[in-house]
Structure 1
């Protein structure tokens, strides 16, 4: 009988203690995982009370929050991940992360951030920083401390017109850089020199018309390269020289009519179906000889090789490059 009473008392104590645990208004708290989720709620301000001190993961999405300050985050000093998706964020305070010394992931996807103050991402050991789909026009070095720990930086879906070389110099450990869906027209020759560990580079859907021959000279670990949906017309012969780790390359939907002889020879590590050349206006004349021969020899490495189509001359329009014969190329 005594054992039963003890068990009942323990159950009641556990129940009432759990019920007494606080949680921010309009949010759900998962105590075992120390997670707080505020989803599709009428919040207009970042919650600054009701948190458990040991909260490690915070997700706020589809609310009307417009700003976050250092004061707000000081309520969760053990925070490791902060995900603020698809809200109305416009302002972040300087020294935002001073009260979160354990934060390694910050994701601000889908907000209305256009400018950020100095040291906004200092004071925390960030590894993953995502600023995707905002209104940023210029990515600045003043955001970060020197020798940052960030390995993953996503600036895609903004309005950036220049590769932020000064910012990248503060990221010696970066292995993923996403600048896709911006307004880049040119990349200076030394922009990526400070990124020796870079493995994945996304430049898709910009306005690039050419690339400097030495742009990748210090990125020997580059494995995934996305250059599709730009305006590339000509590429230097030795663009891929020294990139013997490249396994995926996307050049589709550009303005390429030819590639120089030897251009694809360094790509010995390409995966199967990993090179996309479709959606370009290929000129199927004598200058196409190199690409034609390379494709016949490496057909298994080309993604949908039948989709690499001649745009000229008129007699060959619509023909796939690999279906051509020597006589048709006037070799």
Structure 2
């Protein structure tokens, strides 16, 4: 009796295990899971199946009768297969289907009847395919569609998308450089994603037609300025905007002031150096903000930003990648961690003027108009530092106020205004008589821009016993890596403590990234545990690097980290300055000398050749024509043609153009014998072989 009841319950509530296809799971009622079957065909499933999942198979094609018996099907997932096409009317029997996932296949085109019969379809996922063409009437029957995902394909154009109920459209990562208002007929669209299409502008009429838009993604395009389309009142309901990775470079306070309902804003990687003060006042509902990977100029005009983040409670995403690039004292520091004093804002002071004594009128000091007071007024210099005190006291004409005489000086200073906040650490900028700006530094600071902060007097060192106790306590608490030596291109890491506290780790995973450059992708290295010290090489000069260590293979979470800044690159000054008049004179003298030497060499060569020819002509006239038989095998000259067996030879003068020859005359019995040894260098012949065999090494 119990068995019959159980059989009845199984038959009424779900799919019988006997009807479940091989290598599939049918544990859930009306649901069949057939993942990783490694089969090229669609499995035969019970007719009561409503949810069919056959993803990660090797299905290459579909037949029209694959789904003809499962007319109750509501969801079909065929993602991550090998489909190259969708046969016409393959899903025609699935009139109740609401969700169809064909993502991550190899589909190249969508034809007119690919989705014929899917009159109830609400979600169609085609992302991650190779689609390069969609026929004009391919989506004609899909009037109930709510979501359409086409991202990650090879589309260059679109058919007219007419979806009266569509809420989500994702066209990202295609090659569609322009979108026209006629491309989209989606009056109720809430989310439009156009990332990485190659857009250089956004059509105003297209955005104006989307009055229900809540989310807009324009990241990774070619926008050089905020599109005019974003300044329309039709976007007052927009809650999420992404403009990341566009070459915008600058934002104005009026660019996004219409987006009063904005809650999430992404401005990462758009080459911003800062924001105009009050830029975010137009977004009272803003709760999520991302401004990572921007080269922020952390000077006084940006001092309000960290304060605003804390006061408004805005969540700054990716704070580790939101850092300063300038000035050097702040380079590499997290923007959100800076305090107001870190932005080197000038100190503002007021000075009261007493009433004139007796009847002497007070001197009239020229003033600038009130509307330019905040920008053009140069504050008085601060009290002199220790370095300048001596020089100031030596000059009796130098008073407590800067040189200031006539109104002409004011006009001149107005035409040569100091760069805003160029002097750091409270320094004051003013122009000297040569119209060159100078920074007067506060006590304890120095440098051209007051960028050097002097160290405070050294604290007396503790005794050796106290130092040993403090060191041992600190070492017990220390659980981090550290940098021992830093050069312009390398960082020497100390990993002793990290290895000692983890004696059983298999290895060390080092993760480091450049916090001062535009490319902040992490670099990962795997080290054995017998490297207690390791040097990171090939780094960039004058950059801040973050280095983290974690046990290899145990966890993907970052372990202890350290930060180190590489030193600036050493530049070698050239020995000769090309712009120096003396250098130009030396170069001209060397050129003339080289030309004279070349001419002398040519003239010497010509003289030697002429002289040799004359000597050869004189010798031939005295000896007659040369006879090859006049030489015997020993190289002696035959004197048969001479008178009485003797011949007085005229000796040529030493030829300075030839290699010196051995003595040529030997006096014997009143006659002269001429020795002329045969040298291979002077008597080349066809059998003149090299004395040594060639080397093969």
What TM-score do the two structures reach when normalised by structure 2? 0.40
Instruction: Report the Cα distance in structure 2 between the residues aligned to 1:14 and 1:239, rounded to whole angstroms.
Output: 59
Instruction: Report the Cα distance in structure 2 between the residues aligned to 1:112 and 1:306, rounded to whole angstroms.
Output: 35
* Residue 256 (1) aligns with residue 248 (2): yes
Where has structure 1 moved over 6 Å in runs of 4 or more?
A: 12-18, 322-326
User: Which deviates the most, 301-310 or 103-112?
Assistant: 301-310
* Residue 198 (1) aligns with residue 189 (2): yes
Aligned pair partner of 1:137 in 108, 122, 132: 132
Instruction: Report the Cα distance in structure 2 between the residues aligned to 1:324 and 1:196, rounded to whole angstroms.
Output: 51
Structure 1 residue matching 2:65: 3-state secondary structure: helix
Report the Cα offset of residue 305 of structure 1.
4.8
* Residue 212 (1) aligns with residue 203 (2): yes
Instruction: Report the Cα distance in structure 2 between the residues aligned to 1:203 and 1:244, rounded to whole angstroms.
Output: 19
Change over 3 Å in CA distance of 1:299–1:104 after alignment to 2: closer
Structure 1 gap segments, 5+ residues each: 1-5
Report the Cα offset of residue 12 of structure 1.
6.7
1:26: which partner in 2? 23
Instruction: Report the Cα distance in structure 1 between the residues aligned to 2:277 and 2:194, rounded to whole angstroms.
Output: 26
Instruction: Report the Cα distance in structure 1 between the residues aligned to 2:46 and 2:150, rounded to whole angstroms.
Output: 32
Report the Cα offset of residue 293 of structure 1.
3.4
Change over 3 Å in CA distance of 1:138–1:20 after alignment to 2: closer
* Residue 56 (1) aligns with residue 50 (2): yes
Instruction: Report the Cα distance in structure 2 between the residues aligned to 1:155 and 1:61, rounded to whole angstroms.
Output: 18
Structure 1 residue matching 2:19: 3-state secondary structure: coil
Report the Cα offset of residue 207 of structure 1.
1.6
Q: Where in structure 2 are the equivalents of 1:6-155 lying within 5 Å?
A: 6-11=1-6, 21-30=18-27, 33-47=29-43, 49=44, 51-124=45-118, 125-146=120-141, 148-155=143-150
Contact 1:181 1:206 in 2 (8 A): yes
1:223: which partner in 2? 214
Contact 2:269 2:292 in 1 (8 A): no
2:668: which partner in 1? none
Relative contact order, higher structure (CA 8 A, sep 6+): 1
Aligned-residue RMSD, C-alpha: 3.3
Q: Over residues 241-285 of structure 1, what are the superposed CA-to-partner deviations in whole Å (9 max), with x where a residue is unaligned?
A: 1111100000011111234663201100011xx11112012377x
1:156: which partner in 2? 151
Instruction: Report the Cα distance in structure 1 between the residues aligned to 2:344 and 2:176, rounded to whole angstroms.
Output: 36
* Residue 279 (1) aligns with residue 269 (2): yes
Larger radius of gyration: 2
Q: Give the paired residue count.
A: 308
Q: Over residues 157-198 of structure 1, what are the superposed CA-to-partner deviations in whole Å (9 max), with x where a residue is unaligned?
A: 111122x241x12x1111100111222222224433x11100
Structure 2 gap segments, 5+ residues each: 303-323, 327-334, 346-373, 376-418, 422-697
1:180: which partner in 2? 172
Structure 2 residue matching 1:86: 3-state secondary structure: coil
Change over 3 Å in CA distance of 1:254–1:292 after alignment to 2: farther
Contact 1:252 1:280 in 2 (8 A): yes
Contact 2:273 2:295 in 1 (8 A): no
Contact 2:152 2:172 in 1 (8 A): yes
